[in-house]
Amino acid sequence: MAVDATVAPTTARRSLGEVLGVVFGPVGQLLAFIVGSAASLSLIVVVLALILSSAQPDIMQRVVIILPQVIIDGLVRGFLFATIALGYTMVYGVLEFINFAHGEIFMIGGVVGATVSFLLVSAGALESIPPLVFILLVVLVAMAFCGMLAVTVERVAYRPLRGAPRLVPLISAIGMSLILQDLARLVMTNTPLGFNARYQTPNFGQPIQLFTMQIGERSVPVILSPRDLIFIVAATIMLVVLNYVVNATKLGKAIRATAQDMPTASLMGIDVNRIIALTFLIGGALGGAAGALFGLRIGTVNPYMGLIPGLKAFTAAVLGGIGNITGAMVGGVVLGFLEAFVAAYLSIFTAGNFSGAAYADVAAFSILILLLIFRPSGLLGEATTQKV
Amino acid sequence: MTTSTSSQSLWQRVTAPLSSGPIAYGFLALYVLACSILLVTNPRTELSTDVVFVLFLLSMLVAYRSRVAAWFKVVLGVFALGVVLPYFGTLNPFYIDVATQAGIFTALALGLNVVVGFAGLLDLGYVAFFAVGAYAWGIFSTPQITEINPAWSPVDPVMFYPFLIIGLILGLITGVLLGLPVLRLRGDYLAIVTLGFGEVIRVVANNLDRPINITNGSQGIRAIERPPLIIVDQIRNLGIVADDNRLYQLFFYYLVLIIVLLTVIVVARLKHSRIGRAWEAIREDEVAAVAQGIPRVRMKLLAFAIGASFAGVMGVVFASKQLFINPPTFDLLRSINILAMVILGGMGSIPGAMLGAIIVTMLDLQILPRIAAVLREAQAAGAPIPRQFDPTQYQRLLFGLLLVVMMIFRPEGLWPDERRREEQHEVEITDEELEADKTAKQAGADSGS
């Protein structure tokens, strides 16, 4: 975790203004990256369309019509990756270890959400509770369950291996990821949930029409579905709260100290094991909430849905500079936009020869590889020397 | 081979007389003969045959570890793996199929062992190189090639043999292409990048049916050619009646056996060469290794490329043996599967990787289905087992548990590399033990010469 050098190492209480600055500064940075990447990617797409418009006269129109929808999609994907990436980056910051099972924590968040919804349906209470209460219930249950699960996983599979060669805990984490996948499958296929569990929700109301675009004679409505809105709002709240916890509380200071230098932190009276467990708790809770919200958005969950988002979230964490919390958010959003643009425009620009949806994964991993070659420290990370 | 930890002293006291001296020769010969006779006289597929089959394979391990003359080990090996097992295979094709699969995975595990075990590079996308070899032969030997360019026609099946070399070169090239950019990375980044690469290869294979149909997408490639059997007419002339499928099973068994033997020789020579020592140095401490003048990137690249080329060759064999390949054959689980073999056996240990490969393949093909069948019977008898539960479907759980348990309790594997075990446990070696070790080594050298 990059420790903010501007935070004065005083024990004095900081003024409200300073706290607000610390909490919302990263949000401002995030906002800048959202606007920046959306604008630059849109520009690239429009320029490409201009170049190709001599061959295909209608390409410009087709590109512009879907553009606002693609930006919304990118935002949702971006926040999804950002919330998962936070779990990776916090654990990496403290332990310098890739918690491979984190994608599975995300998946289990979705499964827990579906279970809550299933229980409500069988109690006949789903339609009668207000949507907001439903969302709170689902998210809080998923956060509690996944936080505890992450702590348990750390206790069982990682703590005994602390101090072992680097590859040892990583292999253990891969094993843990496989175990969680199949345990979830075992539970789901032997209960009424089924392999592809349906995730029923109360009625969230009509899609919100933001504005209509005039393109030629056609007017194209730009629609934001309530589920997307819920996801974006909830993710933003979580990011702000996390920023507050890490940057403005005593606990956060302990986490940052542990990340910076574990032996010294323990000499300063910080219970390092407790801080590591708390880091897993926070990361797991965020992953679980992301899973519950993501499942709610797409309507079904299955035990294998965690792997690919987990990998991409890791890519996002590296993109932002692994170990850096703001970086994870920024990386998530940038990757989300990139992927949304590739998924939407690849087939338009290649005349349908390459399906964008299929190659979006390839694009994400190619970004990871390129990034690690040319800028392994990420967008916001500082070049670090490896401890010898 | 010596084991000299004090905890094993009782075990040693029991096994010592059986593993050296004249008793050992008699014991081993008797053991192998007994198992062979039991196998050949009872070739049905049932639990008792499974047990005997495992004991039979175990005899090879016992022979390898015992202190008898090298020629005796070779005779036993040739007799058991070259004569008894193929003959048994003609009686019961299921077991020779298991043996062939185990052989293929042994070669893959040996290849991955070079990357993970020797050089310490965690490669989670190893199966991608396997896929490259398999798809190369799949595309070039079937009419799939005409989809790429109607003017081209499938190659003659006899080209299978040169294609083994082509598969090797393709694996090598892919390994270098992937390795060059990513090998500068630290270990854990490398793991994720290789994993991503494995997924990319699978996604590309799944989607490359448009714009040009190269891989036939998710439907996979069917009716892949098998090489012509060279000496089949001579065998028929001898009056042995054998249908093609049987002969092909034998053919692939022997082919895989030869490839595994070659792989073992290459890997063992590499391990004890200058290159092998350089790999080990990099694995243990990169900074110190570079300071000693070891070209880090070149050595890592070499390990990566060698591992990949083994996978390329086995891909060609695999495609030809299975007759059918599709993208899910090469998913992440298979990479993890091979990794589990290496870790179970012991990273960096050649016999360990082979043992791991055989155990995991047997677990996959024999033991899990057997447990499933037992559960099915129990269920029919009214035991409270959920109907959907099928142990063969829970390989991930099994491999996951295996990885975690091995990492926590025995990170050096079942059959550890001697040097690595000493590092991981750092037991205080007393003078007596050193002395015993020295004499044991001498005895081994004497019997070996």
The pLDDT score that the predictor gives to residue B448 is 43
The residue ranges of chain B whose pLDDT is under 70 are 1-9, 19, 187, 231-242, 387-388, 419-449
Instruction: Report the amino acid identity of residue A284.
Output: G
- Backbone dihedral region for residue B413 (phi beyond 0: left; psi -120 to 50: alpha; all else: beta): left
A300 phi, psi to nearest 5 deg: -135, 155
Give the fold, CATH level 3, of A16-374. ABC transporter involved in vitamin B12 uptake, BtuC (1.10.3470)
**What's the pLDDT tens digit per position in A326-354?**
888 889 999 999 889 888 888 788 776 77
Contacts of A353 in chain B (CB under 8 A): 210-211
- For residue A160, the chain B residues in CB contact (below 8 A) are 408
Asked if pLDDT for residue A148 goes beyond 90, the answer is: yes
Closest to A166 (Cβ–Cβ): which among B187, B195, B389? Answer: B187
Q: What is the ipTM of this complex?
A: 0.83
Write down the pLDDT at residue A13.
63
Distance from the Cα of B411 to chain A's closest Cα (Å) equals 7
Interchain proximity B388–A361, CB inside 8 Å: no
Q: Where along chain A do its domains lie?
A: 16-374
Q: Do A178 and B397 touch (CB under 8 A)?
A: yes
Question: pLDDT value at position A2?
Answer: 47
Bridge partners, residue A214, by sequence: A219
- Mean predicted confidence (pLDDT) in A163-172: 84
B187·A167 Cβ contact <8 A: yes
Contact, A338 vs A70, CB < 8 A? no
Distances (CA, A) of B371 to B56, B191, B364, B365: 20, 33, 11, 11
Ramachandran angles phi, psi of B239, nearest 5°: 95, 10
Query: B210 to chain A nearest CA, in Å?
Result: 6
Nearest CA in chain B to A365: B196
**Residue A385: predicted pLDDT:** 44
**Residue contact A361–B199, C-beta within 8 A:** yes
Q: What is the pLDDT of residues A205-242, one digit of tens each?
A: 788 877 777 776 777 788 888 888 888 888 888 888 88
pLDDT digits (tens, 9 = 90+) for A276-320: 999 999 999 999 999 999 998 888 899 988 888 888 898 888 888
Q: How many Cβ pairs within 8 Å bridge chains A and B? A: 134
Contact B204 A362 (CB under 8 A): yes
Query: Mutate which of A98, A159, A182 to disrupt the B interface (most B C-beta within 10 Å)?
Result: A182
- Taking any CB pair shorter than 8 Å as contact, residues of chain B touching chain A are 120, 122, 124, 181-182, 184-189, 191-193, 195-197, 199-200, 203-204, 206-207, 210-211, 287, 332, 336, 339, 343, 386, 388-389, 394, 396-397, 399-404, 407-408, 411
Is B397 close to A98, i.e. CB distance below 8 A? Answer: no
Residue B2: the pLDDT is: 47
Question: Residue A6 has what pLDDT?
Answer: 47
Nearest by CB: A358 against B181, B184, B203: B203
Q: Which positions ≥6 away from A208 have C-beta within 8 Å?
A: A223, A224, A225, A226, A229
Closest by CA to B91, choosing from B198, B219, B192, B242, is B242
CA distance B413 to B342: 8
Could you tell me the residue ranges of all domains in chain B?
1-91, 96-338
What is each CA distance from A229 to A81, A334, A387, in whole angstroms?
Answer: 16, 19, 43
Contact present, B253 and B87 (Cβ < 8 Å): no
Q: What was the pLDDT predicted at A328?
A: 87
**Cβ contact, residue pair A365, B185, below 8 Å:** no
List CB contacts (< 8 A) between A189 and chain B: 388-389
Whole-number Å distance between alpha carbons of A177 and A218: 49
Which residues of chain B are within 8 Å of residue A366 when distances are taken between CB atoms?
200
Residue of chain A whose alpha carbon sits nearest to that of B181: A373
Report d(CA B157, CA B312) in Å as an integer: 18
Q: pLDDT tens digits, residue range B114-173?
A: 999 898 888 888 999 999 999 999 888 888 788 777 778 788 888 888 889 999 999 999
Say yes or no for a CB contact (<8 Å) between A175 and B124.
no
Task: Say which of B186, B188, B207 has its CB closest to residue A355.
Answer: B207
Residue A321, min C-alpha distance to chain B (Å): 13
Whether A152 shows a pLDDT value over 90: the answer reads: yes
**What tens digit of pLDDT does each residue of A16-55 get?**
888 788 778 888 888 898 999 889 988 988 888 888 887 7
**Cβ–Cβ of B408/A161 closer than 8 Å?**
yes
CB contact under 8 A, A190 and B388: yes
